[in-house]
Amino acid sequence: MSANNSQAQPKENQGVPQGETPQAPMPKAPGETEVCVIGAGIVGVNCALELVKQGFKVTVVDRAEPGEGCSFGNAGILADWSFVPAFGPEVLKNVPKYLIDPKGPLTIRWTRLPHILPWLFRMLGHASTAHQRRAAEAMNHLTIGAGGSYAKLAAEAGAPELVRQDPVLQVYDKESDFAKSEADLAYRAGFGISYEALDRKALSDLEPALGPDFKWGHALIGGGTTVNPGRLTKVLAEEMQRRGGKLLQAEVRGLARDDGGRFSVTTETGVIACDRIVLAAGAFSHKLSAMLGEHVPQGTERGYHAILADPGVEVRHAVGWKSRAFYASPMEMGLRLAGTVELAGLEAAPDYARAKIMAGLVPTMFPGINTAIKSEWMGFRPTLPDSMPVLGPSAKVPGLIHAFGHQHVGLTCGPATARIVAGLLKGETPNTDISAFRPDRF
């Protein structure tokens, strides 16, 4: 989704006086309310499907087909347990080591550093244990229960085979890494997640092909995986259309709100008029919100994957190598190696050496594996400086609902985000406190 920031903005889109909270027009009944969901990734499609179920008139618009952005290429993990920001003091301490290791889990495109530096400095300000704890209190409401939610959604859409609720394995080649994760998972268990520590025998029983270096592990229980996140998004989009929703493939080039509170969404094929907008355009959302005068400090992390179409070994579960920050996930199209982080902004060309690094490391996990790469991919993870999404009403534009910036857990957070968005559009107060996700928190 791209934005045209040169478009003149109507006077009414310039925000409200400092200290005042904008009020949306009184909500109409769902059947009388036209909603435009901008973004056909997994978050936008979840929102659209839930809104259609609740009786709203829904149009989804995106320049790409459903599930063709970051929703296409992720590791497929329904990570109930992933509610603590990964970026904290432990990662901060290891950043220099990561950056000098060409095979490390983090890299920075130095030519793009001047462009990403302001956002990066803001992110550094949130690299504390205290912030991780505050974020966990808010984020667990979006992640826990994702596996069950997707199993139900996929079954309703006629594709139950897309979701597996098997344990996800996290493995370690150093006992010190296992000990750190053991303490971290014990903290997360306080929120209700389940896990089991695994010794070498237990690991071998679950994954006979796993290499001998991995003597320690955890089984993460209660979440699950999807065997094709892109197809899952498409299937849910088709279900949304079967229930009466509309899908338009077009580029959004302008947004405006008139004095009566109606929105105009301008695309290359025409104008969509609507009562409410749900902004769920992933890494491009901040450019679109700026069209309506609301500036959100969203950046991006790049993730990569490589597909091994014929790995030659059996991988039974999604297996994550903790210290290398990537997963080997068995999927419909082969074994997907997905993960790592590159900071390079939105404009730079992909560096597929990042995908090849994972292919070079995976024989340590699974000796004898065929590392021939069938395809490579890069996607943008939408990331706010505090590693939490923007979710809820706009701070400046009445009738605009934000649902973006889920960083590494957009797939996981999709169903819970959709339920919150639908409740807000019905005029309900969320059961969960979403104040931590306010767009004006920075």
- Report how far residue 391's alpha carbon sits from residue 209's, in angstroms, rounded to the nearest whole number: 42
Distances (CA, A) of 277 to 210, 216, 241, 255: 47, 47, 18, 10
- Report how far residue 21's alpha carbon sits from residue 439's, in angstroms, rounded to the nearest whole number: 12
Mean pLDDT of 70-98: 89
Mean pLDDT of 432-438: 96
pLDDT at 359 over 60: yes
Q: Which candidate, 176, 138, 166, 104, places its Cα nearest to that of 409?
A: 138
Q: Which candidate, 399, 354, 382, places its Cα nearest to that of 102?
A: 354
| Residue-level pLDDT at 27 | 66
| Residue-level pLDDT at 23 | 59
| Residue-level pLDDT at 28 | 79
The strands making up 400-404's β-sheet, listed across from edge to edge, are: 246-249, 57-62, 34-38, 276-279, 400-404, 390-393
Please give, one letter per residue, the 3-state secondary structure of 274-339. Answer: ECEEEECCHHHHHHHHHHCCCCCCCEEEEEEEEEECCCCCCCCCCEEEHHHCEEEEEECCEEEEEE
- Report how far residue 420's alpha carbon sits from residue 398's, in angstroms, rounded to the nearest whole number: 17
| Residue-level pLDDT at 125 | 87
| Residue-level pLDDT at 17 | 40
DSSP assigned state of 407: G
| Residue-level pLDDT at 110 | 86
| Residue-level pLDDT at 93 | 81
| Residue-level pLDDT at 101 | 82
Mean pLDDT of 298-327: 96
Q: Write out pLDDT tens, residues 100-157.
A: 788 888 899 888 888 888 888 888 889 899 999 999 999 999 999 999 999 999 999 9
| Residue-level pLDDT at 238 | 98
- Full set of structural domains in the chain with CATH: 1-86+126-167+225-297+386-442 (3.50.50.60), 89-125+299-383 (3.30.9), 169-200+211-221 (no CATH)
Q: How confident is the model at residue 5 (pLDDT cuts 50, 70, 90)?
A: very low
Whole-number percent of the chain with pLDDT over 90:
81
The DSSP secondary structure of 175-244, one letter per residue, reads HHHHHHHHHHHHHHHTTT-EEEEE-HHHHHHH-TT--TT--EEEEEES-EEES-HHHHHHHHHHHHHHTT
Determine which of 49-63, 165-179, 339-353, 354-368 has the lowest per-residue pLDDT on average: 339-353
- Report how far residue 136's alpha carbon sits from residue 188's, in angstroms, rounded to the nearest whole number: 9
Determine which of 7-11, 22-26, 29-33, 271-275 has the lowest per-residue pLDDT on average: 7-11
- Report how far residue 389's alpha carbon sits from residue 413's, in angstroms, rounded to the nearest whole number: 10
Q: Write out pLDDT tens, residues 48-81.
A: 999 999 999 999 999 999 999 889 999 999 999 9
Average pLDDT in the chain: 92
Candidate ranges 19-33, 103-117, 405-419; pick with highest mean pLDDT: 405-419
pLDDT at 19 over 60: no
pLDDT at 237 over 60: yes
Q: What's the residue count for the chain? A: 442
Mean pLDDT of 354-381: 96
Q: How confident is the model at residue 25 (pLDDT cuts 50, 70, 90)?
A: low
Determine which of 19-33, 113-127, 161-175, 218-232 has the lowest per-residue pLDDT on average: 19-33
Query: Exposed/middle/buried for 79, CB within 10 Å: 0-12, 13-18, 19+?
Result: buried
Q: Write out pLDDT tens, residues 376-392.
A: 999 999 999 999 999 99
- Report how far residue 227's alpha carbon sits from residue 14's, in angstroms, rounded to the nearest whole number: 44
Q: Which candidate, 144, 21, 19, places its Cα nearest to that of 409?
A: 144
More confident of the two residues 126 and 28? 126
Q: Write out pLDDT tens, residues 285-299.
A: 999 999 999 999 999
| Residue-level pLDDT at 13 | 40
Q: Which candidate, 266, 429, 39, 262, places its Cα nearest to that of 47?
A: 39
Mean pLDDT of 12-32: 59
What are the tokens at 75? Answer: 């590791």
Cross-strand bridge partners of residue 108: 343
Q: How confident is the model at residue 26 (pLDDT cuts 50, 70, 90)?
A: low
